[in-house]
Amino acid sequence: MKQNKYIVLLVEDEQNIRNLVATMLDTAGYQTIVAGSCSDAKTLYASYLPDLIILDLGLPDMDGMNLLNFVRQNALTPIMVLSARANETDKILALDSGANDYVTKPFSSGELLARVRAILRNHRFSAEEGRLPGGKFVCKDLSIDYDARQVFVKEEAIKLTQTEYNIIAFLSENCGKMMTYAAIIKAIWGDYAQEGSIKKLQVNMANIRRKIGDKPGEAEQNYITNELGVGYRLNE
Ligand code: CA
């Protein structure tokens, strides 16, 4: 295995698309491994532990959602769904099941590569030291140093627990987007069904918001918006 190369597992049964995307990824410098079915993908996933999975949903043996759920049982490996299914229900289901992004076919190669780069750049949780490029998130007076796993407000370091940090880092990856309770819980704890998980999230969120200085009732000035019963958004 070559060093310093991201491994991308491409799961796609249509040979034309598979070849096209694989060539595109190889040219862009990724190490690409391909699977044409869900069961092949599971085997390859287990032996290669890829940095990213690009996943078609319509596969011959099982629905691609099966692989998504399989991976999410115990790993936060970024997953980009690449599907012809364009309706909102499928998107929400995939995103809430832990997909990091959803690209609808047909797509342009430029768009796909940009989104691959964005996912890899933003994905921090499974970062083994030095393996992923560093970076910073800045939004008004709030900044996050992903390498140091440190959040700052007005350049003052905020003391967060590991879980609180993971949550705000996750929200920052999805800045501007309302993330459902289920989405956040899956990303952080990997299991939505766990009893009391929403309560646990709310407690952590309350602590984060207090620590970064968000005040109830000042929605305009706050970094984080809570849509009751739906989720949280880190505002752009
Ligand atoms: Ca397909």
Neighbours of ion ligand 1 (CB under 5 A): 13, 56, 58
Last residue of a domain, one of 70, 104, 123: 123
pLDDT by residue (tens digit) across 157-203?
A: 999 999 999 999 999 988 877 788 888 998 888 876 677 888 999 99
pLDDT by residue (tens digit) across 197-234?
A: 889 999 999 999 999 999 887 777 899 988 777 789 89
Same domain, 112 and 195: no
Residue 51, C-beta contacts closer than 8 angstroms, at least 6 positions apart: 6, 7, 8, 77, 78, 120
- Structure confidence at residue 125 (pLDDT): 40
| Cα of 105 from ligand 1 centre, angstroms | 10
| Cα of 59 from ligand 1 centre, angstroms | 5
| Cα of 57 from ligand 1 centre, angstroms | 6
pTM of the complete model? 0.57
Q: Where are the alpha helices (DSSP H) in the chain?
A: 15-27, 38-48, 64-72, 88-96, 109-122, 162-173, 181-189, 197-212
| Cα of 60 from ligand 1 centre, angstroms | 7
Question: Is 17 within the bounds of a domain?
Answer: yes
Question: Is 1 within the bounds of a domain?
Answer: no
Note down the domain range covering 54: 7-123
Q: Which residue has the higher pLDDT, 64 or 190?
A: 64
Q: Which residue has the higher pLDDT, 225 or 10?
A: 10
- Distance CA(205)–CA(197), nearest Å, equals 12
Q: Does 101 have pLDDT greater than 80?
A: yes
Same domain, 188 and 83: no
- Structure confidence at residue 127 (pLDDT): 44
Same domain, 36 and 77: yes
Average pLDDT, integer, range 112-129: 68
Number of domains in the chain: 2
| Cα of 71 from ligand 1 centre, angstroms | 19
Residue 198, C-beta contacts closer than 8 angstroms, at least 6 positions apart: 181, 185
